[in-house]
Amino acid sequence: TRSTRPQRMLKAVQKNATKGNPESVISAIDYFCKNSEWAMNVGDEKGSILDSVVTEVNPSTVLELGTYCGYSTVRIARLLSPGTKLITLEFNPAYATVARQIIAYAGLQDKVTQVEGSSADLIPQIKERFSITTFDFIFLDHWKDRYLPDIKLFEECGLLRKGSVLLADNVICPGAPEYLEYVRNSPRYESRYYPAHLEYTKVEDGLEKSVFLG
């Protein structure tokens, strides 16, 4: 049967990247998406903004919602201090399988804990399952209509502390209007928009960075 786009992306990584070299894995995926098949990775332009925010925060606890093929997982994990791990959540087993292989090809498997399931189920279990009190950094890149309910879940579950940073992809395209309205009008967040473009296109998109004020 015909391969899937994530499987073809994995093949491109195995063919064009150097094992254990995260930068070459990132470049191989971007090359594949620019020259072969578009895919919904955060991409190089927004990825550079992600890099700068992760570097600035230098987080000890990290959560990513929406692993997909692991592109942003690799981008984040390669910047983490030794001993720091990130938890990444994926509900689609086929995506999770490809991501596991791409993360391993980059040599970052020891910095990543992959969890399969949906955010609504996982978020309330995090403290117990992973002995985490609060997150320093959260990257939202899953279903756009889950951004708002999930940030409220983070608050209810006491997973945010004064200074926790949330970075949301696609706030313009496909868009997360209710989420934007919430973080930009809530007195509990300091929000800032980083304009960019939809990965591998000229379409307007951007990232929203929101700092929890406690």
Ligand X SMILES: Cn1ncc2cc([C@H](O)c3cccc(CNC(=O)c4cc(-c5ccc(F)cc5)cc(O)c4O)c3)ccc21
Binding site for Mg ion (CB under 5 A): 141, 169-170
Dihedral in degrees, nearest 10, Cα atoms 94, 97, 102, 108: 140
Alpha-carbon span 68 to 56, nearest angstrom: 25
Order of strands across the sheet that contains 112-116 = 112-116, 85-90, 61-65, 137-140, 165-168, 204-212, 189-197
Can the peptide bond before residue 174 be classed as cis, meaning omega within 30 degrees of 0?
Answer: yes
Q: Does residue 111 belong to the site contacting ligand X (CB under 6 A)?
A: no
In this structure, are residues 66 and 119 in contact, taking their beta carbons and an 8 Å threshold?
A: no
Interaction between residue 91 and ligand X (CB under 6 A):
yes
- Identify whether 170 is a catalytic site residue: yes
SS3 category, 89: strand
141 part of the active site: yes
Choose which of 13, 89, 138, 207 interacts with ligand X (CB under 6 A).
89
Kindly state whether residue 113 participates in binding ligand X, applying the rule CB under 6 A: no
Specify the residue, 66 or 206, whose C-beta has the smaller distance to ligand X: 66
Nearer to Mg ion (CB atom), residue 141 or residue 150 = 141
The verdict on whether 169 is a catalytic residue reads yes
As a whole number of Å, the CA-based R_g of the chain is: 16
Site string for ligand X, 15-54 (x = CB under 6 A): -------------------------x--------------
Catalytic site residues? 141, 144, 169-170, 199
Binding site for ligand X (CB under 6 A): 40, 65-68, 89-92, 95, 118-119, 141-143, 146, 169-170, 173-174, 198-199
